[in-house]
Chains A and B, each alone.
Chain A
Amino acid sequence: MKPSDEERWDDVFRDQLGDYITEPAPDALERILLSLRVQPTAGRLSRWSLPGATLLLFLIGMVVMHQQPTTSLQKASVVRAQKPSVTAAPAPSAVVEPAPAATTLIYPDLGLRFSVKAPALPFPARTNVVPPAETADATFATTSASVNNATLPAAPEVIAVEAPPGTNATLGANEPHRLTLALMKGYDLALPVYKLTRSVSAPITALVEPERVAAPSLSTFQPSYYVSFSPLFTFRHIAPVPANDWHVSQVNTPGALSSGRVGWRFQVGTEMPLSERWKLRAGLTYTHIQQQFSYTLRACQPDSVRTNMLDTQTVQLIPVYAERQKNIATTWHFTGLSLEMGYRLGAGRTDRHYVMLGGSVGRFLGPGLTMNGFLQASYSYERPLMPHVWLRIEPTMQYGISPRPDKYDFVNVTSYNYGLTFGLRFE
C-alpha cells in the first residue's frame, strides 16, 4: 500500500470509528452500581478501616493481657534492725550451742533474703524443723506450735530484710517471721514449697538453701508471641448461580500443582496457655490466594434458528443457543482475625505436638464483597530453636465458610486451602 493510500485508509477508519457510538445493555448501570456498592462518605481508606480497627483492638488487647498481676513497683527500703546484726549468745549453764550469727533465709524465686537471728538452743536438743505444709504460713504455724515445747527453738527473729527493687513492702525489724510471710502472702505471691531443715547439732551459720519441692512457675502461663508464613495451594468448589438464564458447563480448573493455585498466608499474634494441655491462639491473618478457571455459558433459551431442508416439503428447524466462554483469573486478598484452640498431645519436654482447631473471620478486600471466613485445622509440631524461641511446623487446612460470586455473577466459588505453616514463637 502506498503511503498516501495508507493515510487515506487511516483517515477512513478514523472518521468512521473515532466517534463511533453504540448503546450498552439497559441494565448496565444497575449492575455497575451494584458491583460498586458506593458508600456516601467512603474515602480512599474505607477498605482499610476494618482491618485498621481490628489491628488497633488487637494491640489494645495485647497490652491489657500483659499487665502482670504482681506487686506494684516501688523502690524498697532495706530496714535495718536497731540491734546489732551479730551477737554472741551467752553460754548457757547447760551445754548450749553458742548463739549463732545472723543467718540468712533465702527465697530465690521471690528474690527475698531474710537475715534472721536464730535463738540458742539448749543442748542436747536436736530439732529438725521440717514443715510439711505447702504454704509458708502453715510451715511456720507448725513451727510455732512446736515451739511451745521448750526444747524447740523460737521463731527466728527477723533483723533485716532485703527485697529487690520494686517490692512494696517495708518490713520492720523484729517482726515475727510468720507475720512477714503473711504479708508476703497478701501480695498474692505463689510461694514455693520449701523443705526447710535445720540441724542444731552444728552452729547455725546458714540455713540450707531451700530446696524447691514443687513450684509451678508463673512463666508456664505467660502469653507468647508468634509469627508464621504458609505457602498454600487453593482448591475450589464451583456452583452455578441458579437464578440466571444461562447454563454453566465445561468448568475447567488448572492442574492440582498449577502455579495458578499458589497462594500464601501470613499471621501474627499471641498464644495463651490455659492449662498444661490446652492453649488459645489469637492473631491477625492475611491470606493471598489466586483463582483461575473457565466455564462455558449456554443460554437456556435459543436466540436463533437454523433451518435445514430435508426435502421439498420438510424443513428441519435447529435452535441455536448462544454460547460464551468465560475465563476467570482473580487474586483475592483476605484479612481478618483468627482464633484457634490447641490440645497438646503427649508430654515431651522439648518437642511439642498440638492439634489446633479454629477459624478466621474477616473480609475479602474488593468492591462488593462481604464478610467471610475460614474454618481451619492443623497439626502443630514445635521444638525449641534457642532460649525463648520455638520453631513451629504445621500442616494446615482451611475451608471457606461462605461462597463468593465470580466477577460475572454466574457461579459461586468456595475456596479451600492446603498449606504448610512455618512459624516462630517467642516466649
Chain B
Amino acid sequence: MKPTDADLLRGCQQHNPRAQTTLYERHRSRLMGLCRRYARCREEAEDMFHEGFIRIFQQLHTVEQADRLLPWMKRVMVNTAINVYHKNSKQQAETDYEAAWEHSTDDHLDTLARLSADELVSMVSTLPDGYRLVFNLYIVDGYSHIEIGQMLNISEGTSKSQLSRARHALQQKLARLGVVNYETL
C-alpha cells in the first residue's frame, strides 16, 4: 500500500531511511525541475538540488501538516536557489543587457508557444542571475513583488524593473534565435 504524505512525514521525522527514500523518489523530478529553472546550467541545478534536499531532511521536523509538505519543500528549494544567487552575486557582476531595453513591437507569442519546456528552460537559464530569479519567482512560482523584495533584500520597484527587463531580454533572445515567425506553408 502506497504510504501517504502523512506517513512519509512521520517516518522522515523519525529519520527512517526507507521513508526518506520514498519521499525523495516521489518528489525528485518536480524539485529537480524547479532547481533547473533557477540554475544557470544543469550542474548548478544539481548542486542546488543536493543542498536543498539536505536542508529538507534536516528541517522536516518543523513541518506539522502533511498537506503542506510539497509547498514547503518547494519553498526550501527556492530558498536554496536564492542562497546560490547571493553567493554568486558576490563573485561576479551581473551582466546588464542593454539590448533588453529595446522595445520590440513583435512579442513573438506564437513562436513562444511552440517552444518545448526544455527549450524554454534553456532560454530562461541564459538570463542574468537577477532577472532569472525574479522571473521564476514571479511568473512561475507566483510570489508577489513585495515577497520577492523581502526574499532578495531588494525593493518592490527593483523587483518590478528586473521582471520587465527579463521579459525584454527573453524577447531579444527569441529574436536572436532566428525564430521570429513561423510561416505556415
Chain B interface residue count, CB cutoff 8 Å, equals 50
Chain A interface residue count, CB cutoff 8 Å, equals 40
A20–B29 Cα distance when bound, in Å, is 8
Q: Looking across the interface, which residue of chain B has its beta carbon closest to that of A35?
A: B54
A5/B24 contact (C-beta < 8 A), A16-B120, A28-B50 known = no
Q: Given the complex, which residues of B lie within 8 Å of A276, measured CB to CB?
A: none
Q: Which residues of chain B from 105 to 127 have a CB within 8 Å of any chain A CB?
A: 107, 109, 112-113, 115-118, 120-121, 124
Question: B57 is contacted by which of A19, A22, A28, A32 (Cβ under 8 Å)?
Answer: A32
Q: Looking across the interface, which residue of chain B has its beta carbon closest to that of A18?
A: B140
Contact across chains for A42 and B15 when beta carbons are under 8 A apart? yes
A221 to chain B, nearest CB (A): 48
A32/B29 contact (C-beta < 8 A), A9-B112, A18-B140 known = no
In the complex, whether B3 has a CB less than 8 A from a CB of chain A is no
Q: Given the complex, which residues of B lie within 8 Å of A44, measured CB to CB?
A: 61
Contact across chains for B87 and A329 when beta carbons are under 8 A apart? yes
Interface flags for B21-36 (1: CB within 8 Å of A; 0: not) read 1001100111011101
In the complex, whether A24 has a CB less than 8 A from a CB of chain B is yes
Q: Given the complex, which residues of A lie within 8 Å of B49, measured CB to CB?
A: 24, 28
Contact across chains for B117 and A20 when beta carbons are under 8 A apart? yes
B113 to chain A, nearest CB (A): 5
Question: A20 is contacted by which of B37, B61, B171 (Cβ under 8 Å)?
Answer: B37
Contact across chains for B43 and A22 when beta carbons are under 8 A apart? no
Q: Given the complex, which residues of B lie within 8 Å of A205, measured CB to CB?
A: none
A378 to chain B, nearest CB (A): 34
A407–B139 Cα distance when bound, in Å, is 32
Contact across chains for B167 and A12 when beta carbons are under 8 A apart? no
Contact across chains for A29 and B21 when beta carbons are under 8 A apart? yes
A208 to chain B, nearest CB (A): 76
In the complex, whether A25 has a CB less than 8 A from a CB of chain B is yes
Question: B140 is contacted by which of A17, A33, A327 (Cβ under 8 Å)?
Answer: A17
Q: Which residues of chain B from 93 to 110 have a CB within 8 Å of any chain A CB?
A: 103, 107, 109
In the complex, whether B88 has a CB less than 8 A from a CB of chain A is yes
B92 to chain A, nearest CB (A): 9
Q: Given the complex, which residues of A lie within 8 Å of B116, measured CB to CB?
A: 16
Interface flags for A24-57 (1: CB within 8 Å of B; 0: not) read 1100110111011011111010000000000000
A49 to chain B, nearest CB (A): 15
Question: B121 is contacted by which of A20, A29, A407 (Cβ under 8 Å)?
Answer: A20
Q: Given the complex, which residues of B lie within 8 Å of A237, measured CB to CB?
A: none
A321 to chain B, nearest CB (A): 14
A21/B32 contact (C-beta < 8 A), A12-B113, A36-B54, A38-B17 known = yes
7 contacts between A and B (CB under 8 A): A6-B167, A22-B118, A28-B49, A29-B21, A36-B54, A38-B15, A38-B17
User: Which 8 pairs show the lowest CB-CB distances between chains A and B?
Assistant: A21-B29, A20-B33, A21-B33, A24-B32, A16-B117, A38-B15, A5-B107, A17-B140
Instruction: State the B residues within 8 Å of A (CB).
Output: 14-17, 20-21, 24-25, 28-30, 32-34, 36-37, 43, 46-47, 49-51, 53-54, 57-58, 61, 87-88, 90-91, 103, 107, 109, 112-113, 115-118, 120-121, 124, 135-136, 139-140, 167-168, 171
